[in-house]
Amino acid sequence: MQTTNSLEFMRKAHRLITKLKYELDHVIEDEKEAIGDFSGPDGARAWVEDGVLRITVDECLPRNATYTNEMRRVWIRKINKALEGVNINFTNALCMIIVYSPHDFGWDVDNRAFKVVPDALRINGIIKNDTYQEITLLVGGETDKEYPRTEIFVVDNPFSEQMIIRKIIEMLKLHIIEEKN
């Protein structure tokens, strides 16, 4: 029973610390703007290499359970600042988001607040809209205890509806041939 109470206490403390961190980030940015420091938030970089837009944010993508509007604003600001001076856009993008967690236990990819990434890409004109016609998302994870982060890769989407249909037909044909043998 004591362990359960301790674990619950630690979870509550973690949620509170995370919330306070994002609130503090926001206050720092407001203060920087008030004194004319428009250097933007630290903790994110973006560059283009061989037609691939790469963005690294120096923290793990938040979990949906703890995600707040404040966190969204901080993430948008970080990505906005990182994308300053980056001149690339995509009409049909494939966006891969990899969360490098310091913890080596499994986590559900759909429990991460990845919506902020296509929102930030749209806000910055990297994509026109964040609809399914213009962006495809892939979300994955790795463990990195030394350097937790989120890496985002955006490329022209190499997949077309016709290509996917051809692949499905090929797979079905192979399956039918294998069943006959």
Q: What is the chain's length?
A: 181
CATH level 2 (architecture), domain 44-180: 2-Layer Sandwich (3.30)
Beta partners for residue 87, in sequence order? none
Q: Tell me the pLDDT of the chain (181 aa) as tens digits.
A: 466 678 788 777 767 776 676 677 667 667 766 776 555 556 899 999 999 999 999 988 888 888 888 888 889 989 999 999 999 999 999 999 999 988 887 778 788 889 999 999 999 999 999 998 899 899 999 999 999 999 999 998 887 766 767 777 877 777 677 667 6
**The one-letter amino acid at 149:** R
78 near 57, Cβ under 8 Å? yes
For residue 120, the one-letter residue type is: A
Rounded-to-integer distance, Cα 82 and Cα 155, Å? 17
The pTM of the full predicted model, rounded to 2 decimals, is 0.72
